[in-house]
Amino acid sequence: MSLRAFIRDNHEKIISEFAAFARTLMPPGVDMTEPELRDHADQILLAVVDDICTPQAAEEQSLKSRGRSSAKIMEASGRLHADDRILHRFTFRSVLAEFRALRATVLRLHEQSGESDLADVRRFNEAIDEAMTESMDRFAGQTDRFRDQFIGVLGHDLRTPLGAVTAGAALLAIPEDNPERRLRIVPRIINSAQRMERLIADLLASVEAILPIWHWRDPGSHRSCRICSPTVQHGGGSAITLTAQEQGDGVTLTVHNGGPPIPQDALPSIFEPLARGAIEGTSHSIGLGLFIARAIVTAHGGDIQVSSSTEAGTTFTVGLPKAR
């Protein structure tokens, strides 16, 4: 039996093993369904079979080996897989491991069947390499985009308070004695310095969010509540309700306000870094507060959700397991 026929006949078994391996790579706190774990493995395998069945001249094979294939059969499935794994916070190494596992699964099962088809095996490896390259390029591109956005937003938001501090200091350096001007300038300098301090705190916290964050477990931590601060800030002056209750082996914390709702199109990405959108429009932050909140909750083995509407207001719900 040819490898292409083997993949068709053992399609479900291959994808099941792929999904089981992908589950071991899930980031802490991420709960993915079986369809989400299977993701675009189906499209990848179909594209692999399509690629193997496509006639390939020696020149095209040479171009493909150098990443310059003109057919680009694996391009779409490779990129879609990367986009999905980025959404679920998989790492670059985890996505790479998935492709290695998919390759190993297909070749192992094919070998166990007692079949040997070296020509198809070679084409299969070429196709997997192409899909993997497309995924890695997509992953790297998205990472670069995030880095550039992050630096751009941080630089832009720091420029205004830094300019105020610089201008204020220059005015204070003028030798003439003007108490009234000093009373106006000094608070501006202090406010600008505090704003820069908040921006830098968000920057440092975003780094801590992807590292082991044992210090968040300290009950005496001086850090502010990353969920309550935005709820108060964007509550439009409405009452803030904070509730906590036991539920089985866990504890549920909810924070609610009746202010303007979060736009529906912003909800899917609200916990992503730099996702300020309309909800962060008046903020002096770089859009990391809720991203950090999710990282803290995830590190404690919990989950965080948000719902928002004009009728019901905005509610953030955090579920945390009880301490053992």
Distance CA 37, CA 39 (A): 5
Eight-state DSSP code of residue 259: S
Q: Which CATH number fits domain 3-146: 3.40.190.10, 1.10.490.70, 3.30.70.920, 2.40.37.10?
A: 1.10.490.70
Q: What is the pLDDT of residue 222?
A: 40
Strands 313-321 and 250-257: antiparallel
Domain with CATH 1.10.287 in the chain: 150-214
Counting as low any pLDDT under 70, the low residues of the chain are 29, 61-71, 149, 203-228, 230-238, 273-288, 324
Q: Which residues contact 186 (CB under 8 A, 6 or more apart)?
A: 168, 172
Architecture of domain 150-214: Orthogonal Bundle (1.10)
pLDDT for the residue numbered 247: 84
Q: Hey, what CATH topology would domain 224-321 get?
A: Heat Shock Protein 90 (3.30.565)
Among left, alpha and beta (phi > 0; psi -120 to 50; other), residue 72 is left
H or E stretch at 245:
strand 240-247
Write out pLDDT tens, residues 68-91: 666 677 888 888 888 888 877 788
User: Where exactly does CATH 1.10.490.70 map onto the chain?
Assistant: 3-146
Q: What's the pLDDT score for residue 317?
A: 92
pLDDT at 281: 45
Q: CA 144, CA 138: separation in Å to the nearest integer?
A: 10
- Helices (H) and strands (E) counted in the chain, each on its own, are 11, 4
Would you say the pTM of this structure is higher than 0.75?
no
pLDDT for position 302: 86
Q: How far apart are CA 45 and CA 8, in angstroms?
A: 9
Q: Is 136 exposed, middle or buried (0-12, 13-18, 19+ CB in 10 A)?
A: middle
Q: Cα(first)–Cα(last) distance of the chain, in Å?
A: 54
| Chain mean position to CA 109 | 34
pLDDT at 239: 80
Start-end of CATH 3.30.565.10 domains in the chain: 224-321
Query: pLDDT of 96-152, one tens digit each?
Result: 899 998 999 998 888 888 777 788 888 888 888 888 888 888 888 887 777 776 777
